[in-house]
Structure 1
Amino acid sequence: MKDRLFAFKSVGLVGVSLTFCLFLLMILVPSVRSGEIAKAQYMQYNQDKVIKTIDEQLVGINLEAVRKKEKLIIEKDIESIQKAIYDNKLTYTELTAFYLDRIRHLDKTDKGLNAIAAINPYAIKEAKKYDETKDFKHNNSLFGMPITVKDNILTKNITTTVGMEGLKNFIPQKDADVIKRLKRSNVIILGKANLSELANYVSPNMPNGYSSSIGQTINPYKPLELSPLGSSAGSAVSVTSNMGVASIATETTGSIISPSYINSVVGMKPPHHLVSGEGIFPLSPSLDTVGVIAKSVIDAKLVYNSIINNSSHKIKQLDRTALKGARIGFIKSDQSNAKKLKIVLQKLGARVEVVNFDYEGMDNIKLINSEFPQAVSEFSKKNSLPFKSLEELVTYNKKDLGKRAKFGQEHLETAIKTKNNPKFVKQQVKLAQKKLITLQKKYKLDALVSFNDEGVFLPAVAGYSEVTIPMGIDKESIPYGATFTSFKNDDAKIIDFAYALEQETKLRKAPTLAGIGK
């Protein structure tokens, strides 16, 4: 749902203007936290299985030699890593082992990041196979690249928990469509990334990045002080901490954009229709969208091209001059750094028009509740889950709330009382699209841009694409970003805009990771 945490005390309503807060309080009350992320604790569950799966694969690997390859891997883009392999300075096995070793010591340890929920038991085996069959002739940039996957996406032979204690041992019999596409590109599914349980639709009191199956994912920039946001918390944290080249994530309303900006990475949410949702545990099928989190726009583009279901939308060359002459609608913000963003865009030749969103008539909660119960029932039966309905899940959780729903399950209890209303859902989607089209025509806009995640709501409901890029870290050590929003079928345009801004600014700052792990 509104898959994020607004940390009131420690970070002072991160990235949210007063106007936007009032809007959220009116229609998204269940998603706004009354607690502070500063009250969060290191909570790590079911770590032994992940550690065992890593340790078993690293037997016989010369880890000292692997660790010396760090300069070829850390903060390098996919093209640079592939070049190191082509030049025989690195192997796919060493690359995969490096990430597994890094997860073991940064993530699966006391006071670790806890971003990884499960590990592919065949990751090293697959990497060795790719070392034997290296193919640099067919320009497959993702060949042998280890990628993490959000834990609400079905993965054959790897547990898929959706963050639920009740699914901690559930191993799907088949891959989601997006995983099949990645495997056709010879990607190594490194493991699963933790998420805010059930895409953050369990309780308004549950911190972002928390799941009953794995525990609390930690933001590496300010551990326990700064929320990792969500619900794709583990995906964003794993990427920013260099525990995989990229991650596949999902978004209902902000779940890719929010954790991406707060972890100083690139988040790319395609148009709703462009990536198959088959095999994704649903929250709101009309909104749920599969996307990418990476360290750079060019890396995100490579993964994006491999997962979309329409080859005509593939992005070829990126244009770093794309903003020159572009008409950009700048969503009004009260944040001081937002003003700096506007100035940078103008320096790059963009014609910037300050605009306001019209939220009248929008009701995200009712929309989601209208779809959630039926979608869960259909998915559960189709994929042989241990519960067949949302009602069964609520009943199961009640038998041990401390373990299964530590922060309550108010969202679930509300949802099961709501009737399916497809007519209302369609009306909401059309209304959101109409509002954005009206804005586009009024100002003759090529795209919209917003500070952090302030503009995610309407595009999410409309099904339009978004891309966020890092814009640096403020004086309080909090990352912030710029988010471009497309209009219908203009996803290629905003990827160019994001690339142009990224190349001009290059403001991603990796976390120091001081004091994290061992």
Structure 2
Amino acid sequence: MFKSMVVGLLTAVSLSATATPSWIDAKSAIQAMQQGELTSEQLVRYYLDRIEQHNQQGHNLAAVMDINPQAIQQAQLRDQERASHNSHSALHGLPVILKANISTATMPTTAGALALKNHITGRNAALVDQLEQAGAIILGTANLSEWANFRGTGSASGWSALGGQARNPHLLTHTPCGSSSGSAVAVAADLALLAVGTETDGSIMCPAAINGVVGIKPTRGAVAGEGIIPIASAQDIAGPMARHVFDAALLLDAMLSDEARKQLPVALTKATEQAPELSKVILVRAYDEQDEAIGPMMDGIAEFLLQQGIAVVSVDEWQLPAELYQDELKVLMYEYRRELDQWLQDYGVDDSVNSVAKVVAFNQAKGEEALAFFGQEYLEQAANLDLELENEDYQRALANGRQLAMNALDQYLKELEADAIILPSYGPAWPIDHINGDVFNFGTSTAAAVAGYPSITLPGGFSGVLPLGVSLVGLPWSEPTLIGLAALMEKELKAYQQPTFLSQDKE
């Protein structure tokens, strides 16, 4: 069905001989459309062709789940509006891929789960309405770690029952990380210009870093969560993923909530065009020995920042208290049960699977077809919670965990008055393993995720053929500062590389 839909959409018109959207960036696409050298329809057809070639055929990336049947029609409308000088925003006519846990009116919203197969809500999530009002074209939905990687232990990132196993385009045997796996792979492999991911803890930062692209996890509340299949509203947030900092900032501009627009009244893309005013940054060196490429990468960053006149304070330890992780899991489990039950009911899911408990029973009845190579321990634990009995413990964990996370960051951002904390995002990708599941080396997303502080990851270097990301963390609503710093570092590091789709490591 997927293949026939893409082929059908491609048959009517081929790309103009003068249009060259291959690996194009958003700024160039905007300029080309303004000058009449490229149309939105050509751009959409280009990506549909790329998806046809590489998503299930060719490299079997399994990044894209469903194609919007109205994508070309929407592109034609955007072209007509542009010709009439009626562009909605700078995003006008650019195609966007959405993670498949974000509700859309015309495509299945499934979180990759068999229990939600073919479920169409009939309405958009709030952020999707915003993107369409800004003139974006919703191209399709992206594969993900099933249930945003909160189904059970032993999972392999990027796998879902409906989408299969997404693959890292730099080395196809290795993980794309997750849970926003397909979103990251799609932009990394040029199956999409822009993508939206969601994060609870690391689900934007890890796949963006490991696939060698830019990801932004905004300040808590900066993007409306209405319509997104939840894990926990205490930490869930959507954010942009793209190959370049400007592109990610452009997409985030269109996604901002009303509260965020009060806090961030100037377009975030402006921050990419001027040098940020920075006096001091914290550089975390605690992971230098985790991979032979990390120390030199951080050395280069330190040297560059010093050349810019920015004071660099190096930190040799980065250790969060064990209690923080324990509190985080309690909060996620409690809110997962409460909020997923509510979403399943509010968004018209069939009565047979419209609660966590019913999803558990459905999966048990379907057996391997639904559960494949790992279990559903998180769903089971959530289903068995007594929300009334557990409420007091949840409230304590929510307050305590958040305070611990804020303390870990505020000792640098407030007490030392640093403009940002810079640290490696994650280690390099590991082999996909459907027997043992993921084998994370290290990750640094938790403090910002639990505190609700903004963070950005951008390409920082390579470990062999595998990308390494570098993260920037700041105080709430410091997105302009972080984006400005990320743009500055992007120009210096020049660490983005097109993937070569290796089937095995050259080394």
Normalising by structure 2, what TM-score? 0.87
Deviations 1:48-92 (A, max 9, x none): x22122122122223xx45x567x322322121122223332221
Cα distance in 1 for partners of 2:113, 2:227 equals 17
Q: Which residue of 1 aligns with 2:411?
A: 438
What's 2:309 paired with? 349
* Equivalences for residues 296-375 of structure 1 within 5 A: 296-309=244-257, 310-312=260-262, 313=264, 314-318=267-271, 322=275, 325-335=278-288, 336=295, 337-355=297-315, 356-360=317-321, 361-362=323-324, 363=326, 364-375=328-339
Confirm whether residue 399 of structure 1 aligns to residue 365 of structure 2.
yes
Aligned to 2:381: 414
User: CA, structure 1 residues 150+332, in 2 after alignment: closer, same or farther (shift >3 Å)?
Assistant: same
Does structure 1 residue 252 correspond to structure 2 residue 197?
A: no
C-alpha distance in structure 1 between counterparts of 2:366 and 2:88, whole Å:
52
Superposition pairs of residues 21-420 of structure 1, within 5 angstroms: 49-62=1-14, 65=15, 68=17, 72-109=20-57, 111-134=59-82, 140-224=89-173, 226-309=174-257, 310-312=260-262, 313=264, 314-318=267-271, 322=275, 325-335=278-288, 336=295, 337-355=297-315, 356-360=317-321, 361-362=323-324, 363=326, 364-386=328-350, 387-406=353-372, 407-420=374-387
Structure 2 contact 171–502 (Cα < 8 Å) conserved:
no
Write the distance in 1 (CA, Å) between the matches of 2:203 and 2:27: 27
The reply to whether residue 448 of structure 1 matches residue 421 of structure 2 is yes
Decide which of 440, 457, 461 is 2:446's aligned counterpart. 457
- Quick one: which of 441, 456, 466 aligns to 2:455? 466
Q: CA deviation at 1:321?
A: 6.5
Residue 23 of structure 1 corresponds to none
What is the root-mean-square deviation in Å for CA atoms of aligned residues? 2.0
Q: Does the CA contact (< 8 Å) of 1:208 and 1:227 recur in 2?
A: yes
Q: Which residue number corresponds to residue 478 of structure 1?
A: 466
Going from structure 1 to structure 2, the CA distance change for 1:109 and 1:350 (only over 3 Å counts) comes to same
Question: Could you tell me how far apart the structure 2 residues matched to 1:377 and 1:384 are?
Answer: 11
One-letter identity of the residue aligned with 1:471: G
In the alignment, the residues of structure 2 paired with residue 305 and residue 456 of structure 1 have an alpha-carbon distance, to the nearest angstrom, of: 22
Where do 5+ consecutive residues of structure 2 fail to align?
A: 289-294, 427-442
Overall identity of the aligned pairs, in %: 28
Query: For residue 429 of structure 2, what is the aligned residue in structure 1?
Result: none
Instruction: Give yes or no for contact 1:473–1:509 (8 Å, CA) kept in 2.
Output: no
CA contact (8 A) 2:30 2:90 kept: yes
TM-score (norm 1): 0.85
* Cα distance between partner residues in 2 of 1:152 and 1:89: 35
Q: Distance in 1 between matches of 2:406 and 2:53?
A: 46
Whether the 8 Å contact between 2:131 and 2:255 is mirrored in structure 1 is yes
- Letter in structure 2 aligned against 1:359: L
- 1:291 deviation in Å? 0.3
- In 2, the alpha carbon distance for the partners of 1:514 and 1:136 equals 44
Q: Please give the per-residue CA displacement for 1:389-424, whole angstroms capped at 9, x wherever unaligned.
A: 211111100112211011211222233334443412
Separation in structure 2 between the aligned mates of residue 456 and residue 417 of structure 1, nearest angstrom: 29
Structure 1 alignment gaps of length 5 or more: 1-48
Instruction: Out of 323-332 and 266-275, give the one that drifted further.
Output: 323-332
Q: Secondary structure at the match of 1:272?
A: coil
One-letter code aligned to 1:414: Q
Distance 1:410 1:339 in 2: 42
**CA deviations over 1:245-300 (Å, ceiling 9, x no partner):** 11011000011011001111110111111110000000011100110001111111
Q: Partner of 2:107: helix, strand, or coil? A: coil
Partner of 2:437: none
Amino acid in structure 2 at the alignment position of 1:413 = E
**Corresponding residue pairs, total:** 462
Equivalent residue for 1:17?
none
CA distance in structure 1 between the partners assigned to 2:201 and 2:36 by the alignment: 43
Q: Aligned-pair distance for 1:514?
A: 5.9
Tell me if the contact between 1:264 and 1:481 (Cα under 8 Å) persists in the aligned partners.
Answer: yes
Distance 1:219 1:319 in 2: 28
Q: Secondary structure at the match of 1:442?
A: coil
Distance 1:253 1:227 in 2: 17
- Does the 8 A contact of 1:331 with 1:455 survive in 2? no
| CA 327–261 in structure 1, closer or farther in 2 if over 3 Å, else same | same
